[in-house]
Amino acid sequence: MTVVDWSRWQFALTAIYHWLFVPLTLGLSVIVGVMETIYVRTGSESWLKATKFWMTLFGINFAIGVATGIILEFEFGTNWSNYSWFVGDIFGAPLAIEGILAFFMESTFVAVMFFGWNRVSKKFHLAATWLTALGASISALWILVANAWMQYPVGMEFDPYQMRNVMDNFWALFSGIAVNKFFHAVFSGWALAGVFVIGVSCWFLIKRRNRDFALRSVKTGAWVGLIGMLLTMYTGDGSAVEVTKHQPMKLAAMEGLYEGSAPQGIVALGMVNPDKHWNDDTDEYVFALEVPYGLSILAKHDPNAFVPGIKDIINGIDINSEGDTINTVSYADRIARGKLAHNSLRAFDTAKATGDTAAMRKARSELRKNYQYFGYGYFNSVDEAIPPVGITFYSFRIMVILGSFFLLLLVVTLISVYKKEWFIHARWLQWIALISIPFVWICSEAGWVVAEVGRQPWTVQDLLPTRAAISAISTSTVITTFWMFAIIFTVLLVAEVSILVRQIGKESKKNLD
């Protein structure tokens, strides 16, 4: 493995661990806000106890999430310095805003949340709780705007004088991909936290402790979780449409689709052929259970629409809404034009060194003409531009299948909990909810794998592949830090789970009703 491979694994390790904490922070802050709102409106001490219980769990998770997030941002400079230079003017702006605005907002009001009881008024404390939740979402907004820009780079222009991209339209960063990605991530956090609250509450019911507290928590978690899940599905649909427009190769990898058709079905269950090459005639799948029209509807909201596969995209073939075959830019042409862009940049640099302004203007004009394919100039074969199909395909199905299960679980739980006595004795449902807790994280992580692995080999879509984004560091250095972070993050995860379990056990002995 090269330094690029190890750096990618290290960043993936950090991101996966960090994402264990983020969605619970996003969702649990909202659930705590809802509970405290009910307490302020009713004055019920039972709701106050519930608020403080879940707020404690939120605080534990929040602290460790911050620690992993800081390390993640540092890695852009340590491992991906070429990337940071190439796009730092654009990518750095939302991260700076996140640090200045959202993080300080969170840290200020989270202090009031935990230490402001009996020191500030009830309404001021409630406002601090909701502002903490808002701050967490705003923090996610700027991070996801930055991530979405990597998937769909807009609002910038390449400056050959600086050899980097510079921002020329800040508001362009709020593209359709960015908006859908933000709401999809935040609402999925609501769903995850809802399942977490239900599962923990069901443990209380299984142990026959604090029954009324558990029922109140299940109702709140189920409502927030169900709303979050429905909105997650809605924004997921919007994300699929945006991916179809701007990252068709990712969509093809998600489906394991090599040759498209009109209409195009979607594989509900299947196994991709690991020996399949984009340019041979072997079958795409070992087996596949397909839903007719499914991918056409998902991608273009048209049951008869053509959806291109990997081979179609590489060859530059598409079909328009009238059914006519049209030619797009093939990957071979993109590679050729990318190399022309590289040559133009070299010519500009040479002309600048000699002071030849006419040659500089000519080179800059040629560079602009081909710059949208700049990243392809690093490739020597179209095979290098195809993402890992297998992991993208399976991760997408894990996300969808588990997401469908959790939608059903939330609906059944919400209906059942209002039949109080029945739900109290429904041990099978309580055990399902409890056992489901780790699987909701698997579902959430699978979504991120689809988003990030599906866009490979790009750090910035079409402009900068991972091989060109790396820092000039040794492989041994990255290997050392990889295992160091693996140990540290694992210790942090074990510590969080242990503290959460201990805190839940400790609080369960109190009267929370």
pLDDT tens-digit map of 92-109: 888 888 877 777 777 788
**Adjacent-strand bridge partners of 164:** 159
Measured distance CA(490)–CA(496) in Å, rounded: 10
0.85 cut: is pTM over it?
yes
Domain layout of the chain by residue ranges: 3-247+388-508, 257-327, 334-382
Q: Which two tokens stand for residue 388?
A: 């890992």
- Give the model's pLDDT for residue 362: 93
- 280 secondary structure, DSSP code: S
Nearest alpha carbon to residue 45 among 223, 219, 212:
212
Query: Contact 459/150 with Cβ under 8 angstroms?
Result: yes
The first and second tokens of residue 505, run together, are 């056990």
The predicted-structure confidence for 447-466, as pLDDT tens digits, reads as follows 999 999 999 999 999 999 99
3-class SS of residue 460: strand
pLDDT in tens, 33-69: 999 999 999 988 999 999 999 999 998 888 788 777 7
Kindly report, residue by residue over 353-368, the tens digit of the pLDDT.
Answer: 998 899 999 999 999 9
Residues 6+ apart with CB under 8 A from 71: 14, 485
Q: Is 455 helix (H, G, I), strand (E, B) or coil?
A: coil
Helix (H, G, I), strand (E, B) or coil at 291: strand
Give, as one character, the DSSP assignment of residue 101.
I
Report residue 325's pLDDT band, with 50, 70 and 90 as the boundaries.
Answer: low
Task: Outline where DSSP puts E strands in 31-159.
Answer: 156-159
Q: Give the range among 14-28, 66-80, 150-164, 298-312 with minimum mean pLDDT.
A: 66-80
102-137 per-residue burial string, b: 16 or more CB within 10 A, e: under 16: bbebbeebbebbeeeeeeeeeeebbebbbbbbbbbb
* Side chain identity at residue 56, one-letter code: T
Instruction: Decide the pairing of beta strands 317-319 and 285-291.
Output: unpaired
Q: How far is CA 505 from the centre of its chain?
A: 32
Provide DSSP, 355-392: T-HHHHHHHHHHHHHHGGGGGGGG-SSGGGG---HHHH
Token duo for residue 429? 């449902």
Retrieve residue 59's tokens.
């605080």
